[in-house]
């Protein structure tokens, strides 16, 4: 993904050094939006020499925000893979978006990572919602975590306030790099692992004496105790000597981080490039190597298979991200869990049972690519032009099929009807959206057969806006959006008996059909047809024609043209002509009976009602309950959710009232809330609602005429 006016750049003469799994670290960088994740990624790339300049988000020249949408919005909209080399170790950074509308990128990054770096800005007196979600995502996959508190050099920044907020929320929070403040500014950074301090100027570090500071001394003592507690031998050594050396500290940190008992915290500044080298040291020393990671796959019989990160093991690689590139074609990003991929490896997909020839192997760094000789166990790489592979698929050996867990994407919450701005480009819109769905499976798209609208669904307004923008820039098609039509229904409330008589004479054989039909309400989503004809007043061979006429009639009701449900139609009498009667005549007679009878049977509008399950923090329950009531919802129950400090509200709500609920829930809960809404049944709409529906239907009919 990059500006469409510029072809993809391949560094043909550069091949990144191959690393074994014990020298590979895979780290997802996640957190709240606008907290400096991309700036920190940029600083790490620059410090490691993977980039020749320190780009800035505001200038649109960072390595990881290379897509045209990201440059325009000055924010990340998808996950970027950015490998670098530091101290003879390959670090695959996965810079994920912070905005909730692009949470699918976080899901992809966390799936490929072996650890999660949660970024916060110094000065926060509470844990950001994005940070909470990042921690939750890491915990769901049982991944180690570390916190990077950036912008420590900013005016009024307070690193210690943010550490206190983290400590109040999580156990095991352990500062490792802390700033020494002099005159409200960072004088130097104290690195407990080495028991050294560093002063920075223009990104360059100079060692200075460790300052005497009671607060820092206290944090160092807590740090030493936490590290020593990670291992019995270290605890004994700490009690004996009162100190731990560098190697012992690294060992204790590594053990504690891997076990989840310690969550280290590192002070830094991405924009000023301060403390970034210490953060890179921490990733090399503390984050588990890819070689230590194991995963469970399913074999062909569905049995679990434990996979070590071994290049000699059976091939198992998961596609965690797809890019639909208009120049290069499809780009599939893989995390190789076991075995290795070479250009000669057949790409077998156990989901489809098919195999295809391997495409070009590439190592991606943002928007640039370098040829790769192979992608080995524990590493991340790209394969181009794999037509039969989708995000979440596994490639493996056909002789030993294995399926890894895919990517868990969030459910879509906002739907909009999409229409081509130019007539005749509907198929072009559909094709473009299908390509974007390959790139972002959090997008759903389809035709609503009842309303005849193309409907696209995403994670929020900004997500939908990016979809529209990409349709234009990548696929050259413009669209307009509107609120999707609601699929109402019509039914009747009383029983009537009516005649439908069709007689036409125009020379030669005429047309004659005569039926008496009883219409009455019933519990059915479809028309129920029955017959009680005696004495042959209507011959049996015309029964199917009568039923067919009725079934065609119920597709369009008499009030607003919506399908009619919950009706039983009984043919009980009629007459026929031995010459002029035909199937067409009786079909027409049935249609006339429907048009005559339904208006007399107290027809009403039915609206779809859904079952809502809304999750929100305890403090927001009252506000959301009030909002649901305003939407004519009926609260069924409430109580604690499975997560701490969260409430679950269950209600039944007319689905026509839920259009902006995702935006309201996100606003009220500051992004912490989520919901599911499933269709439950149809209910009679209130008179005022029905009147609006009928009026709107008449207006649309007039416009079409």
Q: What is the residue-averaged pLDDT of the chain?
A: 93
pLDDT confidence bin for 705, thresholds 50/70/90: low
Closest to 234 in 3D by CA, of 248, 255, 219, 250:
248
Tally of CB atoms within 10 A around 618 = 12
pLDDT confidence bin for 508, thresholds 50/70/90: low
**pLDDT greater than 60 at residue 7:** no
**pLDDT greater than 90 at residue 474:** no
- CB-based contact 309:338 (threshold 8 Å): yes
| Residues 211-259: tens digit of each pLDDT | 999 999 999 999 999 999 999 999 999 998 888 999 999 999 999 999 9
Please tell me the predicted confidence (pLDDT) of residue 350.
Answer: 97
The C-alpha atoms of residue 470 and residue 478 are separated, in whole angstroms, by: 9
Domains of the chain: 24-223+261-292 (3.40.50.300), 295-403 (2.40.30.10), 417-482 (3.30.70.870), 490-601 (3.30.230.10), 605-689 (3.30.70.240)
Q: Provide the 3-class DSSP secondary structure of residue 529.
A: strand
| Residues 541-597: tens digit of each pLDDT | 999 999 999 999 999 999 999 999 999 999 999 999 988 889 999 999 999 999 999
The C-alpha atoms of residue 86 and residue 281 are separated, in whole angstroms, by: 8
More confident residue, 298 or 329: 298
Please tell me the predicted confidence (pLDDT) of residue 699.
Answer: 85
Please tell me the predicted confidence (pLDDT) of residue 10.
Answer: 34
What is the DSSP pairing of strand 263-267 with strand 145-150? parallel
What is the DSSP pairing of strand 24-31 with strand 196-201? unpaired
**pLDDT greater than 90 at residue 281:** yes
Please tell me the predicted confidence (pLDDT) of residue 6.
Answer: 30
pTM of the predicted protein model: 0.87
The C-alpha atoms of residue 668 and residue 514 are separated, in whole angstroms, by: 61
The C-alpha atoms of residue 578 and residue 686 are separated, in whole angstroms, by: 49
**pLDDT greater than 70 at residue 77:** yes
pLDDT confidence bin for 8, thresholds 50/70/90: very low
**What strands lie across the sheet with 294-299, from one edge to the other?**
304-308, 294-299, 402-403
Please tell me the predicted confidence (pLDDT) of residue 329.
Answer: 79
Residues 6+ apart with CB under 8 A from 302: none
Please tell me the predicted confidence (pLDDT) of residue 519.
Answer: 98
Determine the average pLDDT of the residues in 30-42.
96
| Residues 117-159: tens digit of each pLDDT | 999 999 988 999 999 999 999 999 999 999 999 999 998 899 9
pLDDT confidence bin for 507, thresholds 50/70/90: low
Please tell me the predicted confidence (pLDDT) of residue 324.
Answer: 79
| Residues 616-657: tens digit of each pLDDT | 999 999 999 999 999 999 999 999 998 888 999 999 999 999
More confident residue, 359 or 21: 21
């Amino acid at each position: 993904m990059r500006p469409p006016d510029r072809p993809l750049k391949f560094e043909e003469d550069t091949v990144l050094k191959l690393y074994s799994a014990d020298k590979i670290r895979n780290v997802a960088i996640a957190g709240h939006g606008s907290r400096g994740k991309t700036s920190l990624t940029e600083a790490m790339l620059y410090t490691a020499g993977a980039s020749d300049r320190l780009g800035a988000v505001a200038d649109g020249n960072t390595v990881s925000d290379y897509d045209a949408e990201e440059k325009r919005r000055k924010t990340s909209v998808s996950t970027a893979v950015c490998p670098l080399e530091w101290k003879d170790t390959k670090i695959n950074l996965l810079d994920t978006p912070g905005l909730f509308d692009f949470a699918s990128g976080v899901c992809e990054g966390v799936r490929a990572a072996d650890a999660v770096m949660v970024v916060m800005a110094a000065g926060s007196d509470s844990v950001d919602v994005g940070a909470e979600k990042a921690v939750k995502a890491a915990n769901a996959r049982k991944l180690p975590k570390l916190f990077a508190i950036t912008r420590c050099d900013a005016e009024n920044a307070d690193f210690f306030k943010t550490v206190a907020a983290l400590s109040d929320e999580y156990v095991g929070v352990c500062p490792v790099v802390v700033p020494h403040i002099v005159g409200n500014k960072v004088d130097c950074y104290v690195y407990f692992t080495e028991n050294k301090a560093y002063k920075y100027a223009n990104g360059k570090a100079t060692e200075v004496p460790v300052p005497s500071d009671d607060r820092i001394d206290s944090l160092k003592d807590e740090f030493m105790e936490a590290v020593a507690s990670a291992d019995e031998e270290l605890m004994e050594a700490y009690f004996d000597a009162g100190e731990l050396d560098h190697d012992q500290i690294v060992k204790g940190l590594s053990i504690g981080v891997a076990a989840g008992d310690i969550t280290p915290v590192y002070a830094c500044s991405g924009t000023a490039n301060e403390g970034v080298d210490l953060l890179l040291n921490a990733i090399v020393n503390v984050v588990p190597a890819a070689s230590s990671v194991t995963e469970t796959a399913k074999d062909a019989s569905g049995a679990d298979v434990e996979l070590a990160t071994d290049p000699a093991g059976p091939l198992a690689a998961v596609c965690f991200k797809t890019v639909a590139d208009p120049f290069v074609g499809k780009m599939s990003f893989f995390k190789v869990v076991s075995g290795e991929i070479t250009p000669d490896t057949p790409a077998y997909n156990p989901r489809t049972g098919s195999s295809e020839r391997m495409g070009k192997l590439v190592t991606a760094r943002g928007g640039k690519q370098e040829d790769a000789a192979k992608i080995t166990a524990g590493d991340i790489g790209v394969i181009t032009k794999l037509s039969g592979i989708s995000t979440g698929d596994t490639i493996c050996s056909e002789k030993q099929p294995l399926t890894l867990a895919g990517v868990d994407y969030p459910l879509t919450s906002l739907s909009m009807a999409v229409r081509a701005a130019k007539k005749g480009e509907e198929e072009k819109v559909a094709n473009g959206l299908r390509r974007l769905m390959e790139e972002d499976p959090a997008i759903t798209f389809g035709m609503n057969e009842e309303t005849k609208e193309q409907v696209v669904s995403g994670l929020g307004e900004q997500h939908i806006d990016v979809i529209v923008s990409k349709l234009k820039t990548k696929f050259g098609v413009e669209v307009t959006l509107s609120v999707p039509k609601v699929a109402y229904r019509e039914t009747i409330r009383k029983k009537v008996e009516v005649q439908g008589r069709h007689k036409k004479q125009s020379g030669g054989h005429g047309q004659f059909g005569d039926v008496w039909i009883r219409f009455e309400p019933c519990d059915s989503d479809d028309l129920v047809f029955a017959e009680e004809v005696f004495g042959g007043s209507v011959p049996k061979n015309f029964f199917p024609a009568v039923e067919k006429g009725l079934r065609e009639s119920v597709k369009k009701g008499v009030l607003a043209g919506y399908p009619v449900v919950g009706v039983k139609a009984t043919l009980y009498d009629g007459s026929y002509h031995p010459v002029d009667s035909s199937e067409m005549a009786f079909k027409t007679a049935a249609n006339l009976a429907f048009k005559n009878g339904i208006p007399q049977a107290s027809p009403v509008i039915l609206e779809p009602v859904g079952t809502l399950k809304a999750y929100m923090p305890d403090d927001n329950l009252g506000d959301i309950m009030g909002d649901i009531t305003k939407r004519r919802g009926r609260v069924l129950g409430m109580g604690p959710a499975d997560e701490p400090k969260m409430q679950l509200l269950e209600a039944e709500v007319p689905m026509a009232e839920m259009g902006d609920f995702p935006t309201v829930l996100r606003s009220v809960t500051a992004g912490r809330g989520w919901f599911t809404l499933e269709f439950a049944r149809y209910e009679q709409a209130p008179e005022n609602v029905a009147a609006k529906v009928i009026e709107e239907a008449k207006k649309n009919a007039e416009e079409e005429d």
